[in-house]
Structure 1
Amino acid sequence: MAFQPILRCSAEGGTSIYAYEALVRGPNGEGAGSVMSQVTDRNRYLFDQTCRVRAIEMASALGLGGTAAALSINFMPNAVYEPRACIRASLAAAGRAGLAHNRLVFEFTENEAMRNPEHLLRILACYREIGFRTAIDDFGAGYSGLGLLAEFQPDTVKLDMALVQGLDRDRVRRIILRHVLALCTELDITVVAEGVETRDEFQALRDLGITLFQGYLIGRPGFEQLPAALLPA
């Protein structure tokens, strides 16, 4: 696993690490694409379960428990045959690590949500009942996001980098993001801006009122480490 920080910037100027996202890597640091290309229908369940447990155990060993940061884990809805049965290993790992359930965030992508919406909603309802947090990743990348929000309101929406990158030079992107942020605020959904790579993007997002940031400008993924997050100078 590699871990990428998500930075919180308060209106008063203070900063803290809001969460770390666990990102799958090969044993020698190979990227996610290389690893995911080896996932098939036969090994998807085992892969999903192993990644969850590995993320929790490694983050704990690296000292996550001594911080206030959450741990965000990507999961595969189509690897979950029954929500409560398939969460047992994650619950056991969290118990061994001493991590409260509300410090675990389970992410799914907008596109994954539309493969079997009813199944996903059952998973999310179960996770919320247990006390986990949920997040839509890559929000705005597809065409289903608003419909999904009408059915289920996650704790967090992570804006797709296609909406974020270049918004400082793009009036249309700023208008879209301003209204997405207003919608999420009214629904009590936290917003994270992903893919932040330049100081100008960061400042434009701050001007819109966004306080949570993830991207190379903030901190690159650290292979088997919890890297520091940096406030852009």
Structure 2
Amino acid sequence: MRYQAALRSADARPLPLRRMARKEKICRCLEIAPVAPRRIYIRRRYFMQLQRNFRALPLINALWLIGRGAFMGINCTGCRDGSDLDVAFSMAFQPIIDISTGDVFAHEALVRGLSGEGAGHVLGQIKDHNRYAFDQQCRVKAIELAATLFDRQAPTKLSINFMPNAVYEPRACIRVTLATAMKTGFPLDRIIFEFTEDERLDTAHVLHILRTYRDMGFKTAIDDFGAGHAGLALLSQFQPDIVKLDMELIRDIDTNPVKRTIVRHTLAMLNDLGVVPLCEGVETTGELKVLRDLGVRLVQGYVLARPTFESLAATAELDGLFATAA
């Protein structure tokens, strides 16, 4: 089965070494192998030595994520499944609609407090020490809820936001996701991993994650395209399955000819690259109509449906909103 193949490819394997300056088994630690619990701190000078000593340069690049001149400590006992997370949360789901057919293309999983509090209530509790565990548990929670709520016979996809700075080595950090999908029977090709481009991100590391996820059968998406500083540069190196146009480009597009021109040319570019555009943050029927006239198929926003806590928006409600926008 595809799950087993993906798990095999994510298994921890010894990395080829020429020599080691010290005895810390850094690679095994980050591959989530059963090594003795310890904290490893690597200074910049030691990092440069590692680059000379290790042939596994992609891993070394993936390690160099956090801090200026030093790594944060990595606790091996807490980097398996995120089960030691000290923050309680759940998920809401917002549908992504194919407005050419009225079908639900996907649902995006959005973090919420246990009583439905907004994302800020949860994200404000995420710090460096629990970022990895939170990222892991977001994936687990989203897949488990989706497996319960989604129609198994429908091709509806699940969109999960991930934090690139919480992924040390993608094949190692994906193992809990794969195990959860296998346990719940949720197909890998129905999972979309999306991230927001950010000026603080290591582009090489992000590209490594996206390419790895694609190779393992997942769909990929860039969120808030047009808001960050490196959108086009990133797109020139990797073409994801989906690009989500930033809501600021969509806001008032029905009354702003400049935004219409920008979006029209962006859509043409994405079409030439074979990337599916998705317009998010659509809040009015006027915006929806313009996007439909421009040939946009995938739309997400309050005009269609708001996020619903631990449930899915009713199809009948969506049909009524389409009639209003006609």
Same fold (TM over 0.5): yes
The residue number in structure 1 matching 2:301 is 215
Q: Please, what TM-score do these two structures have when normalized by structure 1?
A: 0.95
Check conservation: 1:2, 1:222, Cα contact below 8 A.
yes
| Counterpart amino acid of residue 201 in structure 1 | E
The answer for the alignment partner of 1:224 in structure 2 is 310
Maintained 8 Å contact 1:168/1:174: yes
C-alpha contact 2:150 2:156 (8 A) present in aligned 1: no
Residue in structure 1 matched with residue 191 of structure 2 by the alignment = 104
Q: Which residue of 1 aligns with 2:205?
A: 119
CA contact (8 A) 1:102 1:132 kept: yes
Name the stretch that deviates more: 103-112 or 71-80. 103-112
Q: 1:145 matched to which residue of 2?
A: 231
DSSP-derived class of the 1:24 partner:
strand
Q: Is the Cα–Cα contact under 8 Å of residues 101 and 132 in structure 1 kept in the other structure?
A: yes
CA distance in 1, matches of 2:214, 2:93: 24
Shift of 1:143: 2.2
Q: Is the 8 A contact 2:145 2:310 kept in 1?
A: yes
Of 205, 215, 219 in structure 2, the residue corresponding to residue 129 of structure 1 is 215
Shift of 1:94: 1.1
Residues 126-155 of structure 1: CA deviation (Å, up to 9, x unaligned): 101001000001111122111110111111
In the alignment, the residues of structure 2 paired with residue 102 and residue 95 of structure 1 have an alpha-carbon distance, to the nearest angstrom, of 12
1:145-164 equivalence runs, <5 A: 145-164=231-250
Note if 1:94 corresponds to 2:184: no
For residues 65 and 227 of structure 1, the distance between their equivalents in structure 2, rounded to whole angstroms, comes to 16
1:174 — aligned with what? Answer: 260
Number of aligned residues: 229
Instruction: Describe the superposition over 1:164-196 as per-residue Cα deviations: whole angstroms up to 9, x where unpaired.
Output: 010000000000000100010011101111001
Is residue 165 of structure 2 the alignment partner of residue 78 of structure 1?
yes
The counterpart of 2:271, out of the listed 154, 167, 185, is 185
How far apart are residue 64 of structure 1 and its match? 4.2
CA contact (8 A) 1:65 1:98 kept: no
AA paired with 1:88?
R
The higher-RCO structure (CA 8 Å, 6+ apart) is 1
Q: What is the root-mean-square deviation of aligned Cα atoms in Å? A: 1.1
State how far apart, in whole Å, the 1-side matches of 2:246 and 2:153 are.
Answer: 30
Give the Cα–Cα distance (whole angstroms) in 2 for the partners of residues 96 and 67 of structure 1.
19
Secondary structure at the aligned position of 1:43 is classed as: helix
What is the CA distance between 1:24 and its match in structure 2? 0.4
Question: In the alignment, what sits opposite 2:58?
Answer: none
- After superposing on structure 2, the runs of 4+ consecutive aligned residues of structure 1 that deviate more than 3 Å are none
The one-letter amino acid paired with 1:2 is A
Counterpart contact for 1:164–1:194, Cα < 8 Å: yes
Counterpart CA distance in 2 for 1:60 and 1:119 is 30
Render the CA deviation track for 1:80-117: whole Å, top value 9, x for unaligned: 011001000111111122222110000100226x5111
Aligned to 1:34: 121
1:23 matches 2:110: yes
Aligned partner of 1:53 in structure 2 is 140
- Whole-angstrom distance in 1 between the partners of 2:312 and 2:154: 11
Unaligned runs of 5+ in 1: none
| Cα distance per residue 1:21-61 (max 9 Å; x no partner) | 00000111111111111000000000000000100001111
> What is the rounded CA distance, in whole Å, between the counterparts of 1:84 and 1:64 in structure 2?
29
Distance 1:33 1:186 in 2: 37
- Higher gyration radius (CA): 2
For 1:62 and 1:196, how far apart are their aligned partners in 2?
25
Gaps of at least 5 residues in structure 2 are: 1-90
Indicate how the Cα distance of structure 1 residues 54 and 64 shifts in structure 2: closer, same or farther if over 3 A, else same. Answer: farther
